[in-house]
Amino acid sequence: MLYPQANAYRQMIDLSGFWEFRTDPDAAGDFGIGFDQGQPIAVPASWNDQLTGLRDYLGVAWYQTHFNLPWGWNDQRVFARFGSVNYLADVWLNGTHLGQHEGGHLPFDIELTTHLKEHGNRLVVRVDGELAPDRVPPGNIPPDPRSPFAGFMRNYPANAFDFFPYCGIQRPVLLYTLPPQAIEDVIVTTGIDGTTGVVRVQVERPAGTPVRVSLHGHGIAIRQTFDERDAVLTVPQAALWSPAAPNLYDLTVDLMDGDAPVDRCTLKVGIRTIEVDGDQLLLNGQPVKLTGFGRHEDFPVTGRGYVPAVIVKDYELMKWVGANSFRTTHYPYSEQMMDLADRLGFLVIDETQAVGLYFAEQGLDRRRELCHQYTRELIARDKNHPSVIMWSLANEPFNNDPKAGPFFRELYDLAKRLDPTRPVTVVNVGMISGPDEPTFEFVDVLCMNRYYGWYSEAGRIEAGVEALEAELDATHAKFGKPILVTEFGADTLPGWHAEPSEMFSEEYQAEFLTAYIELMNRKPYIAGQHVWNLCDFKTSQAVFRTAAMNFKGVFTRDRRPKLAAHRLRALWHGNADG
């Protein structure tokens, strides 16, 4: 699945702007043909914080917009691409239902061609944002009636994950054309042979059509025409891609009819390898140590909506503190965020939206299908990014269940079949399955979220770090694989100070992160440290989430540094001016 492009053979327009909106609390509406008197709403953005009274509304809502066909589009194949609609989307054009997609955070394309008019097209999208046990991520899981705590301390809305369940059309909606004969997909993988880069380009297209590929940049221009499925280009003295030098080449793929191109796609290529060797993670054959964060697509008013300026800002903040990486906690981020990771040289652990997974029979088959769908869709979308160094199949599933091991083994095999070039992981949390994590046997890298000194050993950083060290050493001795500590952190109210430090103070967070990092720096098998979280972010309401916020950010929700941000900068850059 290629991102839409505009060039001599393809065109594209962005439908971002003010759409019309109405809720449908009984889910009984039949507005596919359109509706009158909708309220204006911004697309892309979550609906929750835009319109009065809708913050906790997670039901059905309808969006509609109108467009005229641009000049020259009459005889083209036209598609709509939705970057992210959370959670369940149904699409109508001029009264005809054209498709459905389940799951936010991943794109889908719908062909509009035969239903288009030259003027006054009406595009309608029904969005169902409900939380349900047979959805992924799940929510509204019935409390266990045998538990004495059934219904006690529940969060609201009742998601099974720790971030606000924003919904709506959250990323841009694009209209684009494809020529009659079109490139369907391009799959690029890279290798290194001495100082030579090896770039394999596989082009999915109508059978029997020749392809011409050109690779430009860093002093080379290579061109090759071929009839086979793929071509291998060799790049002498290759300028490799890495965080220190995110070198990119320009790849142009032309579909040929005789000597004339009939379609074209361009993409950026970074030549790099990523592999696991014993307990080390190797980038371009050299051990790499990740410093960075878990993050959220989260900002006031726009919710989980695509805001380019916030993306730029977050990269600036990450660079400022000395991060070289992040994990797309807990769902795939926007395609634009991934493009910038390639350009700016960030290493990305790319995670699906399988968070809060549990294994009770009810709804399990559906959750399994969705996890397979998401894994396929994520790899299809992000496979060509040099920045993506690992696939994460899930965050903190309730793996203390005998069904979990086989569930993830299947998913791991699927990911490896689709992409044999990248390590695959499942992110574990000690509070649930700890060292008996069933996926540790087969995943390539062990990703551990740990909160000793916060959720356990509360208020006692030293005792927490001792427990952490014991567990890390034991896990390493047992599995001998690289370990990433993919979350560690402490809630911190900005401006709250204490001496001696205590929980929720800025001093406690700074001391907590320092103690963890100093320990991890002493352990050669620790391949990475990701602080939870880059910024404070909104959650559901719960007694353990003051003001419906998770305050573990080292920056506030409006991106101001806490004490810990300065401390991290000193630790990761090696000096305060780094």
Which residues of this protein are in contact with ligand GCB, per CB under 6 A? 162, 330, 395-396, 429, 449, 487, 532, 550, 552
Query: Contact 137/355 with Cβ under 8 angstroms?
Result: yes
Cα–Cα distance, 254 to 214 (Å, whole number): 9
Rounded to a whole number of angstroms, the minimum distance from the CB of residue 474 to ligand GCB is 20
2: left (phi over 0), alpha (psi -120 to 50) or beta: beta
Which DSSP category does 308 fall into? Answer: H
CB-nearer residue toward ligand GCB: 387 or 492:
492
Rounded to a whole number of angstroms, the minimum distance from the CB of residue 200 to ligand GCB is 36
Rounded to a whole number of angstroms, the minimum distance from the CB of residue 429 to ligand GCB is 5
82 CB neighbour count, 10 Å cutoff: 23
CB-nearer residue toward ligand GCB: 267 or 394:
394
Query: Contact 186/2 with Cβ under 8 angstroms?
Result: yes
Cα–Cα distance, 253 to 251 (Å, whole number): 7
Rounded to a whole number of angstroms, the minimum distance from the CB of residue 502 to ligand GCB is 18
CB-nearer residue toward ligand GCB: 254 or 487:
487
CB-nearer residue toward ligand GCB: 177 or 539:
539
CB-nearer residue toward ligand GCB: 18 or 544:
544
Structure-token pair, residue 299: 């900002």
For residue 538, the cross-strand partners are 549
Query: Contact 249/218 with Cβ under 8 angstroms?
Result: yes
Question: Strand 173-178's sheet: what is its strand order?
Answer: 12-14, 173-178, 77-82, 108-111
Query: Contact 175/562 with Cβ under 8 angstroms?
Result: no
Rounded to a whole number of angstroms, the minimum distance from the CB of residue 430 to ligand GCB is 9
Rounded to a whole number of angstroms, the minimum distance from the CB of residue 395 to ligand GCB is 5
Our answer to whether residue 275 is catalytic in this structure is: no
Which DSSP category does 156 fall into? Answer: B
Cα–Cα distance, 501 to 163 (Å, whole number): 27
Phi then psi dihedrals of residue 158, to 5 deg: -90, 65
The residues near 194 (Cβ < 8 Å, ≥ 6 apart) are none
Cα 525–345–440 angle (5° rounding)?
Answer: 30
CB-nearer residue toward ligand GCB: 337 or 429:
429
Cα–Cα distance, 308 to 83 (Å, whole number): 14
Question: Strand 220-226's sheet: what is its strand order?
Answer: 220-226, 211-217, 249-257, 260-269
Our answer to whether residue 20 is catalytic in this structure is: no
Rounded to a whole number of angstroms, the minimum distance from the CB of residue 160 to ligand GCB is 11
Cα–Cα distance, 74 to 51 (Å, whole number): 37
Query: Contact 298/537 with Cβ under 8 angstroms?
Result: yes
- Buried b vs exposed e over 44-80: b needs ≥16 C-beta within 10 Å? bbbbbbbbeebbebbebbbbbbeeebeeebeebebbb
Question: Which residue in 439, 394, 393 sits closest to 414, CA to CA?
Answer: 393
Q: Which of 396, 437, 506, 507 is catalytic?
A: 396
Query: Contact 173/81 with Cβ under 8 angstroms?
Result: yes
Residue with the shortest CB distance to ligand GCB: 162
Rounded to a whole number of angstroms, the minimum distance from the CB of residue 324 to ligand GCB is 21
The alpha carbon of 59 is separated from its chain's Cα centroid by a whole number of angstroms, namely 24
| Single-letter residue type at 393 | L
| Single-letter residue type at 557 | R
For residue 325, the cross-strand partners are 292, 347
CB-nearer residue toward ligand GCB: 304 or 552:
552
CB-nearer residue toward ligand GCB: 157 or 197:
157
Rounded to a whole number of angstroms, the minimum distance from the CB of residue 269 to ligand GCB is 33
CB-nearer residue toward ligand GCB: 430 or 561:
430
Cα–Cα distance, 391 to 101 (Å, whole number): 22
Rounded to a whole number of angstroms, the minimum distance from the CB of residue 487 to ligand GCB is 5
The residues near 341 (Cβ < 8 Å, ≥ 6 apart) are 347, 348, 385, 387, 388
Q: Which of 487, 506, 507, 511 is catalytic?
A: 487
CB-nearer residue toward ligand GCB: 190 or 449:
449
Cα–Cα distance, 162 to 160 (Å, whole number): 7
Q: Which residues are catalytic?
A: 396, 487
